[in-house]
Amino acid sequence: MFNNQFYILRHGKTDYQLSKKDRVYPLKGNLTDVALAKEGRAQIKRVAQELKDKKIDMIYSSDFLRTKQTSLIVAKEIALSKKKIIFCKELRDNHLGIYHGRKKDERYYQERDKALNDFYHKPEKGESKQEVMKRVVDFVKKIDKNKRDKKILIVSHGEPLWLLEGFVEKRRKEDLIDEKLIKKYYIQTGELRKLN
């Protein structure tokens, strides 16, 4: 399917995830500038060791602070020039609109039918999962079209990477939701996968 070899990496654990596990990232002030926790930096240093023998040519990363930090740690550990990192808004986390900063259970994360509805209906001032999938998939296709025989690392967030991988593997939306709700196959913080 691809002209290049892609790896995907979710950013390391953040202070916000550790201290406010029951809340969605806040929109004002922190959505883009949440930093990696000490534990998250250690996660990424460990996973970077797995990448050393992959001979990564370049990194495309979300432009949020936590993904920038993740990409810079990886680049340092694998001796890749910072010039080979491209930060871009297309790989940002999904925008949850009015749900940013609220408790996660307000956004009906555990109800299958409503979670499936998220694919097609966006929250007020946010974006649907279908829009996130299209944004990320179109971007990766564009990279793939413009490069040849490169080993590329994509550094992003849980939702965009989960949706990208689901698209590439031709998984049904219903199956994706089931996997997410039971925490099966959903990419974890600091987790590296090869995009097949």
What predicted TM-score, i.e. pTM, was given to this entire model? 0.91
For residue 58, the tally of other CB atoms under 10 A from its CB is: 18
Domains of the chain by range and CATH?
5-195 (3.40.50.1240)
DSSP codes of every residue in 113-165 = HHHHHTTT-PPTTS--HHHHHHHHHHHHHHHHHH--S-EEEEEE-HHHHHHHH
- 58-115 pLDDT tens trace: 999 999 999 999 999 999 999 999 999 999 999 999 887 777 777 766 664 555 666 7
